[in-house]
Amino acid sequence: MKNNLTLIATFLLSTIGMFGQELSIDAEIRPRTEYLHGFQDPTAKDAEPSFFTTQRTALKATFKDENFSSYISLQDVSTWGDRPQLATTDGSSFRIQEGWARLGFGDGWAVKLGRQPLSYDDQRILGALGWAQQARTHDAALLQYGKDGFALDAGFSFNQNGPSNFNTSYTPSGPGVPVFQYKTLQFLRLHKKWETFSGSFLFLNNGFQDAALPIDPANPDSGNDPTPGVSQRQTTGVHLKYKEGAFGLSVNGYYQFGEFSKTLDIAGYLGAIDMTYKTGSTLLGLGFETISGDDKTTTDKTEAFFPLFGTNHKFNGFMDYFYVGRHANNVGLNDFNAKAVFKTGEKSKLLTKIHYFTAAEQLNDLDTNLATEIDLVFTQKIKPYITLNIGYSHAFVGDGLNQLPNRRGPGTGGALTPGAEGDTNNWGWAMLTIKPNLIKWKKTATP
C-alpha cells in the first residue's frame, strides 16, 4: 500500500511539472477559547457563565492550470471534550467544506461550479462568515467576467434534499430556516473599480419553500392549497467605496421586497455610511447604520430588513445581539459607532470600538435604548502563518433589549427572563490561527 501511494504521488508531481501546473496543500488549525456571560442574549437572572474551546481543523488542496483551477477543503469543527477519549467514531462534524472547479474560456469569461463561499464587497449581504468555525458555503454555479477593472458575477442555485423521481419539494433544515435556507438562488453582481473609487451593484433573488397548507376535510372548497409553492424574496442595492490619501468612505444602500412567506410580503431597507481617517499609525473611524424594523400596525407585510447571508458578526457589535441568529422580523436597529485601531508593535495592533444601539421602529411602550457595547480586539502576528487574537466585549444593556419579545433565553428556546439592574454582560475570547503550507509545487511547462 505504501509503495502504491509513493508511485501515485510521484506520477502526480511529474505530471504537474510536464504541463506547468501548480499544486498547493495547506492546513488550518484554529482553536478558540471563550468565556460567555451575556453573549447574544442579555444575562438572565442567576445565569452562570459558560466556558469552552472550539476548534476548526482543515486540510485544503488547490490545483491551478493555465485556464483552470480547483479547490477542495476538508474540515472538522469540534468542541474540546465532545469526543470520548476511546471513541471509535467521531460524530458528524467532519465534512467537505468546499469543493469547486473554475474553468476559464477566454477573454475574461469563466464558469465556477460546486460548493463555495459567496463573498463580495464588505460582506454585508453575501459573506463567507469566516468568524464562525463552520463558516458558510453555497452549492452554486457562477458565470464570471473580469477585465479592465470591471467584474460581473451571475450566480444560480437550486437546492434539494436528495435525488427524487417525483416533484421538487424541498424541506429546509438547520438554523435560520425562514431567512437562510433557500430553495433557489439567483444573483447578479456588477463591480467597477477606478483609481480612488469603486462601486458595486447587487440584485439577489431567493426562493423559499412554503409549507403545505392541507385542505380542511370539513370544507373541501375552502381554497387551501395542499401543494407548497415558493415565496420569492428580492434584495437589491449598492456598495460604494472612496479612498483618497488618509481618508476613506464607504456607503451601503439596500432594499428588500417580495414575499416573506405565503401570506406575508416584505418591504425593508438598510442604509449605512462609514468614514475612516488615518493619522500616523492610528486609524480612526465613525459610522452609522440603520436597518428597518417591522411596523406592527400593518398585518399584510413586514417592514423588517434582514441582511441574509452576510458576515453579520462583523457588524453591529461582536456580542452578536443583532442579526446573528437573533432579531429577525423585530424592531430594526440604529447603530451609531466609532472606532480606533492603534499600532502597538511591528506586528501587532489593537482595535477599540464603541456602539450605541437604538430601535428603528417603536413597539408599544418599548424603550428605544437597546444597548451600548464596547469591543476590544488585540492582534499579534507570531509567524507568517500564525496569528493570535484576544478579544473582550462588554455590553451595557438598555431596558429596550430586555423588553423585546422573542428573545431566546438560556436553554429555553423561549422568552428571556430579564436580569437584575447592574447584571454584567461580557464576553472574552482568545484564538490562535495556524495556517501552514504543507506542500507547494510549481514548475514551468516542459518544452
Return the pLDDT at 416.
Answer: 44
pLDDT block averages, 10 residues each, the chain of length 447 = 48 52 96 95 84 97 94 95 79 87 95 98 96 96 97 97 88 77 96 97 94 61 62 97 97 96 92 97 98 90 93 96 86 96 97 96 83 97 98 92 64 43 84 97 72
Return the pLDDT at 175.
Answer: 74
- Asked whether the beta carbons of 268 and 303 are under 8 A apart, the reply is yes
Return the pLDDT at 222.
Answer: 52
Separation CA 54–CA 31 (nearest Å): 6
Return the pLDDT at 411.
Answer: 39
Q: Which amino acid is at 440?
A: K
Nearest residue to 99 via CA among 69, 65, 129, 76: 69
29 to 75, 250, 413: CA distances (angstroms): 10, 33, 32
SS (H, E, C) 274-302: EEEEEECCEEEEEEEEEECCCCCCCCCEE
Q: Selecting from 3.40.50.2300, 2.40.160.100, 1.20.58.220, 3.40.50.300, what CATH number does the domain 2-84+93-162+176-442 have? A: 2.40.160.100
Give the number of other Cβ atoms within 10 Å of residue 15's Cβ: 11
Return the pLDDT at 412.
Answer: 36
Separation CA 39–CA 322 (nearest Å): 11
Return the pLDDT at 146.
Answer: 97
- Asked whether the beta carbons of 40 and 326 are under 8 A apart, the reply is yes
Separation CA 218–CA 225 (nearest Å): 15
Return the pLDDT at 92.
Answer: 65
